[in-house]
Structure 1
Amino acid sequence: MTNAAAQPAHEWPYPRWIAHRGAGKLAPENTLAALRLGSTYGYRMFECDAKLSADGVAFLLHDDTLDRTTNGRGVAGEQPWSALSQIDAGSWHSLGYAGEPLPTLERIARFCLASGHWLNIEIKPTTGSERATGLAVAQLAQHLWADQPDTQTPLLTSFKPEALAGAQEAAPGLRRGLLLDTLWEGWQRAASELGCQALVCNHRLWTAELRAEARSLGLRALAYTVNEPEDVQRLLDLQLDGIITDKVDRFKPEA
């Protein structure tokens, strides 16, 4: 197991600016269309949510259910990929994206590999399948990026320690990050035991004290979802390593 503190500070290949769910809200989230649009704004790294179909296919969707962002209904993880692949994941957003499909994680990975982009894969398991999803997503990522240099491999993150434990077991060499919406007791130990290299927090949690603590633990510091200029400036002043934003049209990523 790789200890977080053992990772030298310079071994962080990712750009600071990360497009949330592809292109934030300008295109249907977690679709190939969203990544393509985000890339036209100069973004080179994308965050996306990955879960498993009933027959074990890794695909992109944020919620447990299909209702909010597709024309499907019910728990996505209870349906086979043959059914999920027929669902319209674009019409809910706007007519111009009608017919946009749910993408497999492999399809998204192929796009990033072909274009030289980076990927932050949030492991977003259907409730009850945390470890299995972490195992499967990490195994697939390790396979897809097997021929790539370490500087191009994805960052795997999750709010669920069980999912990160599965990822650690399946692909210990891939970088991992613990996502936090609150500073729950014991997060420091969890990040260490899970061999994390990054701490990814709700941007409101970041203070100079938390930044110093993360640094002392050997953790890179990332924030989500940062959409206001004053929040961006505060986080830049704290020297955060990653800023995840919906506003790809407002903030120009660094070259």
Structure 2
Amino acid sequence: MKTLFAHRGMSSLAPENTLAAFSLTPEYGLNWVECDVDVLADGTVVLSHDETLDRCTDRPGSLYDLTVDDLDDIDAGSWFGDAFIGERIPTFAEFIELANKLKLNINVEIKSCTGGWAQTESLIDGVIEGLKKLDKDRDILISSFNVLALAEFKRRCPDTSVACLFGKETLEADWLAVLQACQADAIHVENKGLTKEMVLEMKDHGYAVNVYTVNHLARANQLFNWGVDGVFTDVGHTFPSRYRNV
């Protein structure tokens, strides 16, 4: 069974990384979601791709200057559409509660904190604590571009699957050593520039291969025929039923 990951939720139908976006996934037959997590000044883990508010809320500023009490005053939905006015930046705890309710499997991307290692450790602490509340029958995959953060998470949670993230520009010849150092179970690679030969080499080394972000059906079909295990997509609702639980 090939996996479709709802990239930041159903992010072409609702504002990314919001509870509204994740709530739509069962309606369209997807049971895997991908989210991004970062940490506020008070240690609260929240869902956000960016470390700033500028792109996906009604105000500018840094996440790292906020506490959980500030979230009620931030609108993370009106930029996307009137139907989402007042949508909040979710905490990781709220996301886990929703995943349990909707029986979602989760890929959590730990962002690369620019505030330093202490902040990164705070983020890892919060993710580990939050995952304790996830129902035991849910599948978990933790990913990151930050190999030090990923290795530290794996050291502390050796039974949880992890994936190293690579962009086209960061996929160097030492990718295998990086995966081995992180004790990774999977590799997540950028769609752009990915070839069949690269996929086959990754598979030959025993790794699951998931590709981001794939929004064209013909390209997704090609990747799956090459042996790719899953793709991240913003448009999961457009994929035929052979890829969805419908």
Q: TM-score, normalised by structure 1?
A: 0.87
d(CA) in 2 for partners of 1:187 and 1:134?
25
Deviations 1:192-218 (A, max 9, x none): 110110101111243222222212322
- The more displaced of 167-176 and 40-49 is 167-176
- 1:9 alignment counterpart: none
d(CA) in 1 for partners of 2:68 and 2:152?
22
Deviations 1:115-169 (A, max 9, x none): 2110111111331346425522441244123x504xx231100111122123113
Q: CA RMSD in A?
A: 1.8
In structure 2, the CA distance between the partners of 1:180 and 1:133, relative to structure 1 (3 Å rule), is farther
Q: Map 1:1-255 onto structure 2 (within 5 A).
A: 16-129=3-116, 131-132=120-121, 135-145=124-134, 148-149=136-137, 152-182=138-168, 183-252=171-240, 253-255=243-245
d(CA) in 2 for partners of 1:71 and 1:15?
37
**Is contact 1:158–1:177 with CA below 8 Å preserved after alignment?**
yes
d(CA) in 2 for partners of 1:137 and 1:39?
26
Q: Give 3-state SS (helix, strand or coil) of 2:99's partner.
A: helix
Deviations 1:169-208 (A, max 9, x none): 3322111001111212422111111011010111124322
Query: What fraction of aligned residue pairs are identical, expressed as a percent?
Result: 31
Where does structure 2 lack aligned partners over 5 or more consecutive residues?
none
Q: 1:158 is aligned with what amino acid? A: S
d(CA) in 2 for partners of 1:142 and 1:232?
30
Q: 1:17 is aligned with what amino acid? A: L
Q: Give 3-state SS (helix, strand or coil) of 1:59's partner.
A: strand
**Is contact 2:141–2:162 with CA below 8 Å preserved after alignment?**
yes
In structure 2, the CA distance between the partners of 1:128 and 1:187, relative to structure 1 (3 Å rule), is farther
In structure 2, the CA distance between the partners of 1:87 and 1:125, relative to structure 1 (3 Å rule), is farther
In structure 2, the CA distance between the partners of 1:125 and 1:140, relative to structure 1 (3 Å rule), is farther
In structure 2, the CA distance between the partners of 1:120 and 1:37, relative to structure 1 (3 Å rule), is same
Q: CA deviation at 1:68?
A: 0.6
Count of equivalent residues: 239
Q: CA deviation at 1:18?
A: 0.9
